[in-house]
Amino acid sequence: MIWLAVVLALASALTVGMSTSVQHRAAGEAPASVSGGVGLIAHLAQRPIWWLGQLLGFVALLFHALALGFGPIALVQPIAIMGMVFAPPIRAAMARRRLPRQEVAAVLLTFAGLVGFLLASAPRESEVTTGAGTLGLIAILALGSVVLVTLAGRVDDTGVRAFLLGCAAGLLFGSVAVSLKIAMHELDVGGLGGFVTSPATYAFMGLGIAGIAINQLAYRCARLSASMPALNIVNVLVALLFGYLVFNEVPRHTPVALVVEVVAAAAIGWGLMQLARFEDEVVAEEDQAPLATG
């Protein structure tokens, strides 16, 4: 049911965009007297709007899991990055402001690149494998993320460090999608018992927590544009590699299709970099606002 997977994946991406926008607004409205990570969380925990953002994030995860249950990961995971595309117009609507033309162009370019890539590749239904070999590949990717984090700790340049951490988080988030795909397959085949006893279920939970933690480290090192594009691109590449090589989700590979896929992938990458740059500018303006009004 490819069409249902597309609808659920889009619903997940839209909900992610809403979740991040709501949390962004809640954090931005924190008074200047609130300082430090612990203080900020303590303040946000008293705000219903922040809890709404957490609830939306959980709903997004459910939509994502259902999408992976109905469609190939090589289709669902690229759509997941649309959350970053949906977020700017949602935040603009919440703030009652218009998006700059350049940001609108970046949103449209990323969206067009994604549509072009999916139409050109048209991956077929999965043949999910749940053996030790698949879980071993996930473990290798997790080990790769450890190596990248270790390298990041030895780099003085904050931009390079954030890039390496973004790549590490991308490896983990891609592995989360693969593990979740396997867990949903176990749920379909073996019911709740199969889901609960599947190692993939606990793998996606653990990898997800580690990915979030590493992503936060990347945010603290440098601006979003240093890590977010790398995170999303690596995330999708991991999903595509597993889809194509492990789950047999063979895409179209005619010369014309390959050219379109490469051009579309380049458009997606460029659009993501531009969106991250605009996000940096928004954060910089918000950081300067208390100084201007103080």
**Domain range list for the chain:** 1-125+252-294, 127-248
How wide is the angle at C-alpha 250 spanned by C-alphas 248 and 254, nearest 5°? 160
pLDDT at 12: 92
The answer to whether the CB of 138 falls within 8 A of the CB of 178 is yes
**What pLDDT is attached to residue 294?**
45
Sorted by sequence, the CB contacts under 8 Å of residue 126 that are 6+ apart come out as 71, 72, 73, 181, 185, 243, 247, 248, 249
DSSP annotation string for 232-255: HHHHHHHHHHHHHHTS--PPP-SH
In one-letter notation, the amino acid at residue 193 is G
Dmax (CA) of the chain: 61
Which pLDDT belongs to residue 291?
Answer: 45
End-to-end CA distance of the chain: give it in Å, rounded: 56
Phi, psi torsion values for 5, nearest 5 degrees: -60, -40
In contact, 219 and 276? CB cutoff 8 Å: no
Using alpha carbons, select from 212, 233, 231, 239 the residue that is nearest to residue 164. 231
Q: Interhelix angle for 255-293 vs 82-95, to 10°?
A: 30
Exposed / middle / buried, residue 192 (Cβ in 10 Å: 0-12, 13-18, 19+) = exposed
Which positions of the chain have pLDDT values less than 70?
24, 26-30, 32-41, 126, 130-131, 224, 282-294
Q: How big is the CA angle at 123 (ends 120 and 125), to the nearest 5 degrees?
A: 155
Sign of CA dihedral 277, 19, 23, 180: negative
pLDDT in tens, 64-90: 999 988 888 888 988 888 888 888 888
* Residue 226: predicted pLDDT: 77
Q: How far is CA 217 from CA 37, 43, 85, 166, 213, in A?
A: 12, 21, 23, 9, 6
pLDDT tens-place string over residues 22-65:
776 766 666 766 655 566 667 777 888 878 888 988 999 899 99
Dist CA 218 CA 165 (whole Å): 5
Quickly tell me which residue has 């605009």 as its tokens.
278
Are the C-beta atoms of residues 179 and 200 closer than 8 Å to each other? yes
Rounded distance between C-alpha atoms, residue 146 and residue 136, angstroms: 15
d(CA 277, CA 268): 14
